[in-house]
Structure 1
Amino acid sequence: MRYCVDCIWEKFNVPLKRFIMKRVENEEDADDILQEVFIKIHNNVGGLMDHSKIHVWIYSITRNTIIDHYRKNNKKYEILELPEDIESFTEKESSYNLEIAHCLKNMVNTLPDIYKQAIILTEFKNMTQKELSEKMGISLPGAKSRVQRGRKKLKEMLLDCCCLEMDRRGNIVDYKHKSDECKYC
């Protein structure tokens, strides 16, 4: 299946701009990032293997482009950090996302130390996997493996704990604990 980049633009440009604007300081930066995103989409859409995941693929490109923007400008911005206090989220954020975020934070704390450290440094502190390998004194494939295994363990813990229903953007629209005695939430 071949995608029409113009069709992707029509469908995604407005929601992506909103997504970016929530994460950058000004509209000019948001426009630059949006342009970079669509250049990446245009250059890589032919290699997309699972066409049913185009939405996730596009938002992953967008998220990574935002991170690149902050790294390029030597700014600290921790996209994935879970805040200490819930009030730092805007009211528009789903309460389900907040509740699951608390669960994930507790789950990260129960990971074996090598995976916990890898997840905190890469996901919460925006360290690249290469930087992680240098900091921990391990090979790059070893660092990648730790991050991947840590993510896998978190996913397993979350799916063991809860049944999740997500919208097409990956936001949690409903969830249910599988047990009344969840040790994470």
Structure 2
Amino acid sequence: MNIEQIWSAYQSKLKGYLHNNIANPDDVDDLLQDILIKTHHKLPTLNDESKIKSWLFQIARNTIIDFYRRQQVEKEHQDSQENSLWNEEQEQSILQQLSECMSPFINALPEAEAQLLTAIEINGMSQKDYAKQTGIKYSTLKSQVQKSRKSLHQLFNACCTFSVDSQGNLMDYQPKVHRPSCKCS
């Protein structure tokens, strides 16, 4: 038997089988074409022509299984991308909200700490450049940055409750009871 004879004898039965297992008619046509291609490629491996029908339907079953597996993988990938995008947007939104209230907190620190954090954290100046510009030893400046960050952190904690993930990334924040000193409420 050649592929044309096999296809003319079994195409309609295979199509009916696919319609029973696949909801979308366009997918049925695509899968039928896949089965034809697989049949053409694997026909030389068929040893017993009397088993052609069961052989074809085994190819059809495997094609359907592969189809549903692909759909599941695509759905999981799409869900993963959507969750990733949502988390990025959520994280950006939280960081954007907090960055808008960062300056008042920094300005509430003593003037030297406020200038230091504004230059390094807000304006993005490197600690080495700031040390050179101000004539402070780099090792001393690093200690001052840590101390200033700790002071800023205490101001934030007095105002807001923060939720962080297992890696320490900010997930959400909630202002505490409104306080006059709180800059975020």
Query: Relative contact order (C-alpha < 8 Å, sep 6+): which is higher?
Result: 1
On whether the aligned pair clears a TM of 0.5, the verdict is no
Which structure has greater helix proportion?
A: 2
TM-score by length of 2: 0.44
Q: Which has the larger radius of gyration?
A: 2
TM-score by length of 1: 0.44
